[in-house]
Every structure is written in C-alpha cells, then in structure tokens.
Chains A and B, each alone.
Chain A
Amino acid sequence: MKKKAYFKADEAKTGLGVFKGLEVRIGQIVDDEWDEPMGPTPMPNPTTLRAWDHKLLTKYQPSYMPYCQVCCLCTFGKCDLTGDKRGACGIDMKAQQARIVLAAANIGCSAHLAHARHLVDHLIEEYGPRTALIQGPGTEIHAPVSSLVTGMRPRYLEDASLILDYCESQLAHTLSATHTGQEGSWLDFESKVLHAGMVDQVSMEIADLVQISTLGFPQADPEAPLVESGIGMMDTNKAIILTIGHNIVPAASITDYITEKRVGDEVEVGGMCCTAWDITRRDPKAKVIGPISWQLRYIRSGKADVIVVDEQCVRTDVVTEAKKVKAPIISTSDKAVMGLPDRTDDDVASIVEELVSGKIDGAYISDHHKVGEVATKVALAVKPKRRKMKFFPSKKQIQKMAMECKKCSECIRACPNDQNVMEAVLAAQTGNFEPLRDVYRNCIGCARCESACPNDYDLHSWMVVAAEADCKDETYMVRTGRGAIQDTEIRNVGQPIVFGEIPGVIAHVGCANYPGGGKDVHDMAEEFAKRRYIIVTSGCAAISAGHVRDENGQSIYERRSGEFDAGCVLNVGSCVSNPHIAGAAIKIAAIFAKRNLRGNYAEIADYIHNRVGAVGISWGAMSQKAASIAAGFWRLGVPVIVGPHGSKYRRMLIGNPDDERAWTVYDARTGDRVVTAPGPEHLFYAAETVAEANVMTAKLVLRPNDTGKGRSIKLSHYIDIHEKNYGFFPEDVWKYIRRDTDIPITLKDKILAQMKENKWKEKRIPDPTLLKEQIIGGEK
C-alpha cells in the first residue's frame, strides 16, 4: 500500500527521541521501545483503506433518503437533483447525499479534533511536553486506537501532538473532498466518511488520554465514584455555577478555585452534557445536572447564578436566555464566543464588578485561569438578590394567558416530537396542568413550539412549571466516567465474547434527541444487562441511563457493577471517551487472539467485525459528532442503531438478508468461500420504536464466529425478545443454525420444524474473514 502521509517539525523532543529537522514519513516511524512489528497501514491516507471500506460498503449498501433534494453549495445552483437529474457540476442525487453525509462526518470530526488540539496545547503549556500519558493500571496495551491507526504509541504529551498533526492533515483532505468538483462517486464519498470517522476516533482517544493523564480523572477504574445527578440534586442554598458543553478546562478552573479557596459550602458547580461528566471525573463533589436537552429548562428556572459555556452542543441563544433570568454568562471557547465582549486581558476585579452590576450581560474570557475566579466571585455576589427573584409565571398566570390561545396548531407543527402542545395549553385554560406535564416528559427542550407561537407564549417554561414536582424529584446517583477498560478485564471476558457466551457488548452513547424521553435509554440498558450482556455508556446517554430509580431508590449504576463484565453497566465518560469502547474491541483482538495491532487496521477491523458481538446504540443521536462517532465504529465493522430521529442522517447502511453473496466469507483455514447467516445484518440502522431497537440489538450481536454454545445463547435471547416485543416466534431462526449445537435446547421442537420447512442444510463454521490476505498459506 502507498504511504503518503508526511509531516515535518524544526525540532521535536518526542518519546521516540530528540529530532532536529524532524521529517516523518509513514513507514519510517520507529518506536524503539515497542518490539511489535509495524503493520501495513500506519497513518493511512484517505485511500489507503479504500479496499476494506469497499468490502463493508458492498455488504452494507448505503440506502439514501434525500433529506433535501436541491443543492445550494455553489453559485451554479440551486440545482434540482430529483430523479436522474444532475447538478451543474455533474453530481447526481446519490453522490450528493453521500457528500452531505461526509460533510457531517467532517464537522463532527473537526469538533473533537479541535477540542483535542486545545487540550493538548493547553496541557503542554501547563505541564510540559514530556508529561507522561497514562491510561491507568492494567492498560499495557496503550492507546489502542492510536496504535492501530498510526502505528505510534503516544507516551508523552508531545507524541499526542504529533498524532493530532496526522489527524489534522487527514481532516483537511476529507473536508476538501466535499468541494464542488472533487469527489464524484457515492462509494468514494462513503469511504471518506469512514476515514473521517476513524480519524475522529483517534482524536477523541487523544483528547481523553491527555485529560485522564493530567487532570486527576479515574484511570481505568471500575469503581469510579458515584456522583449526584439531576435538577433536584442542585443545592439552591448555595450559589450555583452552571457549566455547559464538552471541554473541561474552564470548568476545572472553577472547581479548582472553589477547592483552593475552601468555599465549597457556599457555591457549587453543576454541569450539562459532557462537561458534566468531565468535571465530576476531576471533582466528584461537582454534579451532573442533566443531558444536553435539559439546558433550557434549567437556565429558565433561574437557579443558575452564573452560566459558563465552553464548546459543542451549547444552545446558541444561551446569552439571550441567560439575560432573561439575569444570570451573568461567561463564554470561554474561541469556537463559541457568543457575541460577548472579550475581557480576557482585563483584571478580575473589573470583570466581576461589571458582571455583578449588570453593566455587561456577559464576557468572553479565554484565559482559563481567570474563569474560575470570576465565575465564583460573581456567583457568590449575585446569589442573594437572585434568590429573591421569580422567573417562572405562576400556574394562575399561565391559566390566564392560555385563554388567548389561537388554536392555530403551530406549536404542534413545530414540535419535532409531535407533542400536542395546543391541547395541553387548552387544558391549562381550565386549570388542568397534567397534559403540559406529560409534554414535559417527552420534550427535548428545543423551544421550537415557542418560536412558532403567534402569541409568543413561553411554552417550554409552562411545561417546566407544570412538571415542577418531576424536576424536584430528579435526584439520582450516577457513576462518573471510568476511562479505559483494563487488559485484565479483557483477559477475563475476551474468550466468552468471541465465542458468543457473553452474548454481546452494547454501548449506549451520544446525544439526547429522544423520541419519547430519556427513560427509554435506561430501559434498553436494563433489558440487556439483566440478560448478562455487557453494557457500556457514555455522554448524554450515560446520564439518561442513570436517571431512573428502582423500587429501592437505586439507579442502574448503584445496583450494577462498573466492571467490564457480564451484566455490568460501566460508564466510560464523555463523548471523547467513546474510543475506550472501540479500544476494548481492539484489545480483544490483541489479547485474546494475539493479533498485532500496530498500524494494522484492516486485519483488526475484520477480526472485530466477524467475531466481537458489539453494537452501538445512540437512541438520541442528534449531532454531526454523533455521525462521526458512528462512522468510526462502522469502519471497525461495528453496527450502530439510532432512534427514529436518526433517519434524518439521510442514509442507512443496510444488509440484504436475501443476497447470499453478501454474506460469504473466506474460511481462513482453507481459503474456501463459505456462505454465513446475515450477521451482523445491518451496519447503520434507525429503529422506529424501542421494541424494534431491542429486537434489532439482539440480532446484530450475531457473528459468523460464534461457537455452537454462543450462537444458541444469542439466539435464545433473540427469540425471547422477539416474541415479547413482536408477539411471535421469529421466522428467520433457521438461517442462523449451522449445526445442531446452535439450537437452543428448550426451543428445539419449534426450530427443528422451522428448519425442516425451509429445507435447512448443515453448514460449516468457518474461521471467518473478508480479507484474502488472512487466508493461512495464501489464497487458493
């Protein structure tokens, strides 16, 4: 394979040695301490892994559902691309959809990559380039994703920087491919989507590795602390600082300042989205208020005395909203300045004075050392007067206002979840607030209903008032992010996973664009945890999974262990912690099968795809980051399920169970082509309901490599979940039977009958691979 990646630095002291006039060409990197031979594809460029991508994309054909049928990206347009029309540049509808998918993956990747770059530069400045990177005890296989992709093990912060150089160069290439008159084939666009996803996974791994190594986070710790979570957990007797976003640095300066000044009794910090996870990883006294879609409800409540935003998924009207509740706001990231005056270079006292007096609504402060002090001082100063203010209307006032409703339905038409807001408003006219409370439960806090309302009703606030008791009752203990999975844990479960005896690893990740409330995430996780699947969580999904209490008042994290083992539920952390999930799969190949992972992407992905029954679920997937995270899993051959809103990503990767050829693998022992059952059946799939997602999950963990025992365990869960949710015995069980040993004993009669009906024949269990080069002794 060609190795074109190349980078240069005047002087670099790296873990690999000191280089003057360093020029790194791919294939020439040497890690002296690493005796593993370099694999075939270190630092792949956008076409290096094209052959692997094409194998996946042939098996799982993109199914496009154009979300927009015109293109307006250049002044040739707008171009009508419907039917078999082409745009002025020559592009057709399929390629255009693939192009937009690539644009989304690039945007997602850029957000993580820029976040990682900020962290690395900041931490090098704080701690020095030779600061060691440590994932934690029992993690001999260090930074598995980076090692797999780049062939380098990042030992020091400066190595992390070199790896990000590689990622940045790749992103420039994949982004440029979306320009008018570049890539023209949907297949090659899609291959670049996978490339962007892989690069994204590397940059996330670096981001989490550097923060775990330097900021006092739990290090691969199954017993990471339980922390307080939920709106009701916030102590309003203290001044409250709300942090929103994904980047720990400014938030950490706040918790550090509070600790240093010993003012923890007077002020507390709560986070939303991934900043919440990361501040609690650093300081378990901080709190996780809720997922990203809780922003508006909490800001509107007026309980936050200061709002500090960093980056990604922050509401872009946060300044306007903060102003409504007279909460000073501080923006901290150059990516999200939010129109605020730059006060970075001013002295703390003057910034505090202006924010407290209300002379300015907010300030942009990029010097993170100042953020902690300013936020804390302002919060303490404004709290007494803010606690006397009331921000929500009373139920009586709402009832009166509701009388003027025009019954125009615009609120319903605007609601992404089709909530009957109008009926709820009409009920409020009579003093019945229950329907508004019901809307709250299914609401993702987007406020589109308000924007649409001709009466300018604060409809979302009304829902929060109606659901006041529910908000108060949001009190949970959730386990903060543990980071990586230990090699020893992999050693214990590698074999049962590959043989199928632990039926699967299911990862609940991503955002909170839920079709019917966050409880669904918990219910899905619990359904499979009790069946002894391994459940991994991260990001907003990890918060929602913890926001349900059982009859003993416990959350899923309290009643289940945080180890990587059957029936456990482990939270790896924030969005950038997702690569630990991929890393676990990679480590299974390295530890259990003793495969070399260094620069050896296709072989390891092929191994994972055919043997490791892992499925990602992003029930509330919303962002472009969720798209790039999914793409990183796809390239490793791991299927991803999203909720119904995920159909708006406009393309699925769907397998065709009727096409035998698509399910043919090589038997690595003999080189024969062997037809297998469709497993995993799809690579990217939006499920309409929780019922469908559960059935699909149980099916997508099936792998060609399952042993008889493993296959029969997986099938008995699939059958049970199918019967429970669909009300009948699945008709395709016979396809998954290769030999008698695959048949779940208790269901033998039914399955044998089905096999007979379908003229079943015994099949071989191959040593499955999609790669000719994996055939022992070469191709026949």
Chain B
Amino acid sequence: MVMRPVPWQTGEICGPDSAKSLAKSDVIKRDLSKAKKPLLIVGSEAVAEKHGKGDMIDYAIALSKAGSIPIVATGGAIKAFIEKGFEGAKSMGAMELASRLQDADWKGPHGKGPHDMILIYGIPYYMQWTLLSAVMNFGTHITAITLGRYYQPHAKWSFPNMKEKQYHELLDEILVLVGGGK
C-alpha cells in the first residue's frame, strides 16, 4: 500500500479525477512558484505529529516564515501555535473553510487573499477528504497541495501514502523549496 497513490482509507475512493503523486518535491516547484497567494491550513492532528526535533506545528511555522505563507489553524490547533509564541496564525473551522474557499473573491482569514493555492494537513483524513472535494469541485480557482502523509485524491498534488522516514525527508525538501530549512 505504501507509496501507491490510492486513498488511504480504503472506502474513500473518489471520482474520475484524482491527485497527482507528490513522490518528489520537484514536481510542485512550478505550481509553488506560480502561486501568488498561498494559504497554509493546519488541522488538529498536527499537534501530536512529530517532525524532526519538533512537531508538525513547528513545521508549519517554519514553512510559513520561509514562504511568507499565512496560516489558518482548524479544530483548535491554534492553541498550539499560540503556546509556541507564534502570533501570525488565525483560527477557523474546517467546514467554514470548505465553504469560504469556494468563493473566488474571499479575502481569506487574514484579509490577504483571494488565495490561489492551499497547502493543507492535519485535519482527520476523511474530513480533509470532504473539504478537498468542495475545493476540487467548486473552488476551481485554487490549486490544492496536501502535505499529510497519506494520499488525498481531491488535491492537485498529494503524497502517495509515504513511508514515515521518506515523508519527513520530503517535507524538509519542500521547506527548502519555499526558501527555508537553512
């Protein structure tokens, strides 16, 4: 199963279109450089996920700083950002985001949009799946890249159910790609 671009939860098969496999960081280089106003969405599960010496909240902060990408935290993940002294994140519900991202004129939680790209991880798999389905079908102005370990078919790019070690390496490569990790 590992390294195959098929939905991680067995039943969550999608429709005719599905995400391209993000097995190498290079493949998203073009989309990342084209994106004018990306938004980083970080869900509640990121708090308990380890990455390097820290966790996936630390990773979000690093990514945000490196690429000047605003963060919106869902499901109460905001608390972890605040506890780490990072003030730049905003809080919104995943379902509020799923709704507002369908609006091509929405300025986003920081008023810096409209966003043309989302980077997303940390929302429970099936809930992120439904959120991304809303974006794929009705928020077509948005390029969606998922940065969770498991394959999310409704994004444009998604990791293909990565092995844990490789996954974290790839995350670090992506951080470098947006100008960080030094």
Chain A residues within CB distance 8 Å of chain B: 61, 63-70, 80-83, 93-94, 408-410, 413-416, 418, 448, 452, 515, 644-645, 647-648, 650, 652, 654, 656, 682, 685-689, 691-692, 695-696, 725-728
A515 and B124 in contact, given A64-B137, A66-B15, A80-B15 (Cβ under 8 angstroms): yes
CB < 8 Å: which of A82, A691, A727 contacts B16?
A82
A70 and B16 in contact, given A65-B130, A696-B93 (Cβ under 8 angstroms): yes
**Cβ of B146 under 8 Å from chain A:** no
B130 near A688 (CB under 8 angstroms)? no
CB < 8 Å: which of A67, A69, A415, A652 contacts B98?
A652
User: Can you name the residue of chain B whose Cβ is closest to the Cβ of A650?
Assistant: B130
A727 near B78 (CB under 8 angstroms)? yes
**Cβ of B158 under 8 Å from chain A:** no
Q: How far is the CA of A409 from the CA of B161 in the complex (A)?
A: 11
5 contacts between A and B (CB under 8 A): A69-B133, A82-B136, A413-B10, A656-B99, A687-B93
CB < 8 Å: which of B44, B95, B126 contacts A63?
B95
How many A-B residue contacts, CB cutoff 8 Å? 131
**Cβ of B64 under 8 Å from chain A:** no
7 closest Cβ pairs, A-B complex: A69-B15, A688-B75, A691-B76, A63-B99, A727-B79, A65-B130, A654-B99
CB < 8 Å: which of B2, B16, B78, B130 contacts A648?
B130
A689 and B15 in contact, given A65-B131, A409-B1, A654-B99 (Cβ under 8 angstroms): no
CB < 8 Å: which of B1, B91, B98 contacts A413?
B1
A65 near B134 (CB under 8 angstroms)? yes
**Cβ of B39 under 8 Å from chain A:** no
Which residues of chain A are near B14, meaning CB under 8 Å?
Answer: 69
Q: What's the least CB distance linking B158 to chain A, in Å?
A: 15
New A-B contacts (5) at CB < 8 Å, excluding given A644-B127, A647-B95: A66-B134, A82-B136, A515-B124, A652-B99, A689-B76
B127 near A647 (CB under 8 angstroms)? yes
Q: What's the least CB distance linking A744 to chain B, in Å?
A: 21
B98 near A65 (CB under 8 angstroms)? yes
A654 near B95 (CB under 8 angstroms)? yes
User: Can you name the residue of chain A whose Cβ is closest to the Cβ of B138?
Assistant: A64
Q: What's the least CB distance linking A404 to chain B, in Å?
A: 19
Q: B120-140, CB under 8 A of A: which get 1 and which 0?
A: 000111110011011011101
CB < 8 Å: which of A408, A682, A688 contacts B1?
A408
Q: How far is the CA of A63 from the CA of B15 in the complex (A)?
A: 19
B15 near A686 (CB under 8 angstroms)? no
Within 8 A of A (CB), among B81-137: 82-83, 91, 93-96, 98-100, 102, 123-127, 130-131, 133-134, 136-137
**Cβ of B143 under 8 Å from chain A:** no
B137 near A687 (CB under 8 angstroms)? no
Q: What's the least CB distance linking B28 to chain A, in Å?
A: 22
User: Can you name the residue of chain A whose Cβ is closest to the Cβ of B91?
Assistant: A726
B125 near A418 (CB under 8 angstroms)? yes
Which residues of chain B are near A727, meaning CB under 8 Å?
Answer: 78-79, 82-83
B44 near A688 (CB under 8 angstroms)? yes
Which residues of chain A are near B99, meaning CB under 8 Å?
Answer: 61, 63, 652, 654, 656
A728 near B82 (CB under 8 angstroms)? yes
A687 near B15 (CB under 8 angstroms)? no
**Cβ of B152 under 8 Å from chain A:** no
CB < 8 Å: which of B17, B75, B133 contacts A692?
B75
B15 near A688 (CB under 8 angstroms)? no
How many residues of B sit at the interface, in one of the four size bands?
A: 35 or more
A647 near B126 (CB under 8 angstroms)? yes
Q: How far is the CA of A682 from the CA of B98 in the complex (A)?
A: 13
**Cβ of B21 under 8 Å from chain A:** no
User: Can you name the residue of chain A whose Cβ is closest to the Cβ of B83?
Assistant: A727
Q: B4-46, CB under 8 A of A: which get 1 and which 0?
A: 0000111100111100000000000000000000000001100
Which residues of chain B are near A686, meaning CB under 8 Å?
Answer: 94-95, 127
Q: What's the least CB distance linking B10 to chain A, in Å?
A: 5
Which residues of chain B are near A81, meaning CB under 8 Å?
Answer: 15
Q: How far is the CA of A426 from the CA of B95 in the complex (A)?
A: 36
B133 near A689 (CB under 8 angstroms)? no
B93 near A692 (CB under 8 angstroms)? yes
A685 and B93 in contact, given A66-B137, A654-B99, A691-B76 (Cβ under 8 angstroms): yes
Which residues of chain A are near B125, meaning CB under 8 Å?
Answer: 418
Q: How far is the CA of A416 from the CA of B9 in the complex (A)?
A: 7
A67 near B79 (CB under 8 angstroms)? no
Q: What's the least CB distance linking A446 to chain B, in Å?
A: 11
Which residues of chain B are near A65, meaning CB under 8 Å?
Answer: 98, 130-131, 133-134
CB < 8 Å: which of A82, A410, A515, A725 contacts B137?
A82
Q: How far is the CA of A418 from the CA of B8 in the complex (A)?
A: 10
Which residues of chain B are near A515, meaning CB under 8 Å?
Answer: 124
Q: How far is the CA of A408 from the CA of B43 in the complex (A)?
A: 27
A63 near B134 (CB under 8 angstroms)? yes
A82 and B17 in contact, given A67-B133, A413-B1, A692-B76 (Cβ under 8 angstroms): yes
Most buried by B among A80, A725, A727: A727
User: Can you name the residue of chain A whose Cβ is closest to the Cβ of B134?
Assistant: A65
A689 near B134 (CB under 8 angstroms)? no
Q: B56-76, CB under 8 A of A: which get 1 and which 0?
A: 000000000000000000111
Q: What's the least CB distance linking A621 to chain B, in Å?
A: 13
Q: How far is the CA of A644 from the CA of B136 in the complex (A)?
A: 20
A413 and B78 in contact, given A686-B95, A688-B93, A688-B124 (Cβ under 8 angstroms): no
Q: What's the least CB distance linking B143 to chain A, in Å?
A: 15
A80 near B16 (CB under 8 angstroms)? yes
B9 near A688 (CB under 8 angstroms)? no
Q: How far is the CA of A68 from the CA of B129 in the complex (A)?
A: 11
Which residues of chain B are near A418, meaning CB under 8 Å?
Answer: 9, 124-125
Most buried by A among B1, B95, B134, B137: B95
B98 near A63 (CB under 8 angstroms)? yes
Q: How far is the CA of A710 from the CA of B2 in the complex (A)?
A: 55
Which residues of chain B are near A63, meaning CB under 8 Å?
Answer: 95, 98-99, 102, 134
A652 and B95 in contact, given A65-B134, A410-B10, A647-B130 (Cβ under 8 angstroms): yes
Within 8 A of A (CB), among B145-172: none
User: Can you name the residue of chain A whose Cβ is closest to the Cβ of B6?
Assistant: A413
Most buried by A among B10, B11, B93, B123: B93
Which residues of chain A are near B82, meaning CB under 8 Å?
Answer: 726-728
CB < 8 Å: which of B1, B74, B76, B123 contacts A725?
B76
B16 near A69 (CB under 8 angstroms)? yes
A70 and B75 in contact, given A413-B9, A687-B93, A688-B43 (Cβ under 8 angstroms): no
Which residues of chain B are near A448, meaning CB under 8 Å?
Answer: 10
CB < 8 Å: which of B44, B102, B126, B136 contacts A416?
B126
